[in-house]
Chains A and B, each alone.
Chain A
């Protein structure tokens, strides 16, 4: 039981994190480019077309895919729709307050949306039922269960993983009804894995996969959505500027981390 109103990282901890980093070390013993242990649990919500629970250390998110038939957007009459939302549940941290989605949740949803959309991992053109009239909508919904930093990377891994295991429900064209109890085909996907990987700058160091305390100390961050070296989305967050060289280093770091993550994710989805 805590009497505090909002728990924030104490100044001493912040100073110690910075000092450690100056010596090239991290508070929890990880390397600067060390990711925490990643586990993916599949099929955690059976009414979803696909669902996963992703844990990165103590950070815990669930991602579910739902599908429904609707009308296409006027500018893409022959393509399915994609919608990504993220909710940071007050259940997942004492810092998250009740009420309408705050900026953090909106940003995670939007950044993950762009990474998925721009990479074209979903072959939306194959999700058209009748041009101009009926297309599938793919909903990717992200929920935080425990926030110990780097929700965004966990969410991005979860989104890609859930897409890969999801099955499309049947659609009865005569009755114009989706039959959720019968799912057969997989969602048409290109063979890529557009993970969003975030690099944080603390002092002169670039680190990956920060804990909550490290996120508090972070001066600026850059999230890069990429697959096998091709960049599909970026978002720099925080007001501290980055040098060109730092962006270049961040991209190299992302490429290295992506390879490690790709292997781990594929292994766990087997």
Chain B
């Protein structure tokens, strides 16, 4: 690990994920596939509907199917109530989620069709987009959409000078000492390809490379949890 410095409030090691981590599929009976992913106090659920005909017709892609993700946060999932309905933030996260997941899907099998993935954040304590992507990847697999790989997602942070894994709300938005807080959510396929990367703060190239290695290791752990939940559903 890099610098000593920052000691985590909740007693975690710098490379330790929050607990509990819970994953379950089949949580929405109406959906073609669904999953819940909880990490610490953040809870996301995702439901997949489709593949189905894309409407309106001019949105159809004759080459391949379309993945359409929507990320939505419950008004009461955060301390200060947010207005129900879409926002600029949720619109951006929805698109980021599509980009993170699309490379793993064999969409060429569904020309003119659309696969809808709806993500709902029930309880938020930072890392909601990552939890949403983890739930969505599981829900797509649960729906039987042909996939090359799974996607796992985690946020790594730089708190003052230290690199820490899986930021909680305090670390993400309240910590304000030294070099402050840098949030770097990353999504990675099991084969190691990066499908989503965002960064908010300041960091050197050397440290960013280290961040990616930390994220890869953590995503492997998350992948095992996702896989286990999917296998359990088959029992």
Residues of chain A at the chain B interface (Cβ within 8 Å): 1-5, 44-49, 51, 58, 60, 62, 64-66, 68, 85, 87, 89-94, 98, 100-101, 139, 141, 143, 145-148, 178, 180-181
Contact = CB atoms under 8 A, between A and B. Distances in A.
A91 B76 contact: no
28 contacts: A1-B143, A2-B50, A5-B53, A45-B43, A45-B76, A45-B77, A47-B76, A47-B78, A47-B123, A49-B76, A58-B29, A58-B30, A62-B122, A64-B74, A65-B76, A66-B81, A68-B81, A85-B84, A89-B120, A91-B45, A92-B28, A92-B47, A94-B49, A143-B120, A145-B27, A145-B28, A145-B45, A178-B80
Interface of B: 27-32, 41, 43, 45-47, 49-53, 55, 70, 72, 74-81, 84-85, 116, 118-120, 122-125, 143-145
A147 B122 contact: no
A213 to B, nearest CB: 13
B85 A3 contact: no
Given A1-B50, A94-B49, A145-B27, 17 more contacts: A2-B50, A4-B52, A44-B122, A46-B123, A47-B125, A49-B76, A62-B122, A65-B76, A66-B81, A90-B116, A91-B46, A91-B118, A139-B75, A141-B81, A143-B120, A146-B30, A178-B80
A139 B70 contact: no
A141 B28 contact: no
Contact of A147 (B30, B123, B143): B30
Given A1-B50, A1-B144, A146 B29 contact: yes
Max count, chain A CB within 10 A of own CB: residue among B84, B119, B144:
B84
The 9 A-B residue pairs whose C-beta atoms are closest, nearest first, are A64-B76, A91-B118, A48-B76, A66-B81, A91-B47, A180-B79, A141-B75, A45-B123, A66-B76
A47 B51 contact: no
A45 B28 contact: no
Nearest to A100: B85
In terms of DSSP, what is the predominant structure of the interface of chain B? loop
A48 B122 CA distance: 10
Contacts of A98: 70
Contacts of B46: 91
B175 to A, nearest CB: 16
Contacts of A180: 79-80
Nearest to B75: A141
Contacts of A47: 76-79, 123-125
Given A3-B52, A3-B53, A90-B116, A51 B76 contact: yes
Contacts of A1: 32, 50-51, 143-145
Contacts of B28: 60, 91-92, 145-146
B85 A87 contact: yes
A180 B70 CA distance: 28
Contacts of B47: 91-92
Given A58-B29, A146-B29, A89 B72 contact: yes
A91 B50 CA distance: 12
Contact of A93 (B30, B43, B52, B76): B30
A5 B52 CA distance: 6
B30 A68 contact: no
Contact of B41 (A46, A66, A89, A143): A46
A98 B117 CA distance: 11
A211 B28 CA distance: 16
A141 B84 contact: yes
A7 B52 CA distance: 11
Max count, chain A CB within 10 A of own CB: residue among B81, B118, B143:
B81
B30 A139 contact: no
Contact of B52 (A2, A49, A68, A145): A2
Given A87-B84, A91-B120, A146-B30, A141 B74 contact: yes
Contacts of A51: 76
Nearest to B124: A47
A3 B188 CA distance: 30
B144 A68 contact: no
A66 B125 CA distance: 16
Max count, chain B CB within 10 A of own CB: residue among A4, A49, A68, A92:
A92
Contact of A62 (B30, B74, B80, B119): B74
Contacts of A145: 27-28, 45, 120
